Amino acid sequence: MRPRVKILSLMACTVLVLLGFLAWGAVSAKRRAQAMSCGSNLKSVALGSRLYSNDHNDTLAKSLIELSNEVVTPKVLICPADGERKSANAWKKLNAIPWSQLTTNDITYEWMARGEPDTNANRIILLCPIHGFTARADGSVRDQRKDRRRTQSILRAITPVPRSARVCGRGILR
């Protein structure tokens, strides 16, 4: 009787571990999908900003509200990972009220360009505080966190390491 109990408990543990891995994978996939959707939203708003700039003598909008003619729906102004603004009431409010009555509390993204001239294509015009994505004046979207890590790794690669801090093959200081 004893070996059967051990086998059953071993099988139960194995099933629980596999279910844990599946749940972790599903959460990870959801986060990646939200990040991709966020990047797509930023791209839409950035391209709308380019259209606005072309129509207004190469001047960027003062606020996101001014982009109402260039951006199809105000739903792209909310990050998919923003739990506060994704409720059913928030969606109803976005569909019911005109753009002019939207406030910064209704929008996830931060508008960085305040009516400045559109002369620098690399100027950051929009920021997602949740994912760290930025939209540039040329319409491109970048992940600031990845850019920061890449810059740090490049700096580490070109910065000489002092001789006293060098490590030999087994992790022992010379």
Does 174 reside within a domain? Answer: no
Residue 25 lies in a domain: no
Is 39 part of any domain?
yes
Question: How would residue 173 be classed by pLDDT, with cut points 50, 70 and 90?
Answer: very low
Q: In whole angstroms, how far apart are CA 66 and each of 15, 21, 45, 62, 99?
A: 54, 46, 11, 7, 9
**Beta strand residue intervals within 19-164, DSSP E:** 110-111, 124-127, 133-136, 141-143
Round to whole Å and give the CA distance between 148 and 156.
Answer: 12
Say if 17 falls within a structural domain: no
Host domain of residue 99: 33-157
> How many domains in the chain?
1
The pLDDT tens digits of the residues spanning 123-148 come to: 889 999 988 899 998 888 988 776 65
DSSP string for residues in 4-30: HHHHHHHHHHHHHHHHHHHHHHHHHHH
Q: d(Cα 128, Cα 58) in Å, to the nearest integer?
A: 24
CA distance 26 to 75: 25
* Distances, alpha carbon 83 to alpha carbons 34, 103, 167, in Å: 12, 17, 46
* 38 within a domain of the structure (yes/no): yes
pTM for the full model?
0.67
Tokens in use for 5?
A: 């109990």
Looking at the domain assignment, is residue 26 inside a domain?
no
pLDDT for residue 21 is more than 70 = no
What pLDDT does 164 receive? 55
Whole-angstrom distance, CA of residue 123 vs CA of residue 113: 8
Q: Poorest-confidence range of 66-70, 86-90, 152-156, 163-167?
A: 163-167
- What is the side-by-side strand order in the sheet with 133-136? 110-111, 124-127, 133-136, 141-143
Q: Is residue 43 part of a domain?
A: yes
Examine residue 3 and state whether it is found in any structural domain, yes or no: no
Per-residue pLDDT tens digits for 98-126: 777 777 787 888 888 888 888 888 888 99
Give me the mean pLDDT over the 30-40 stretch. Answer: 87
**End-to-end CA separation in angstroms for the chain:** 60
Q: What is the pLDDT of residue 174?
A: 45
Q: What is the structure's pLDDT at 157?
A: 58
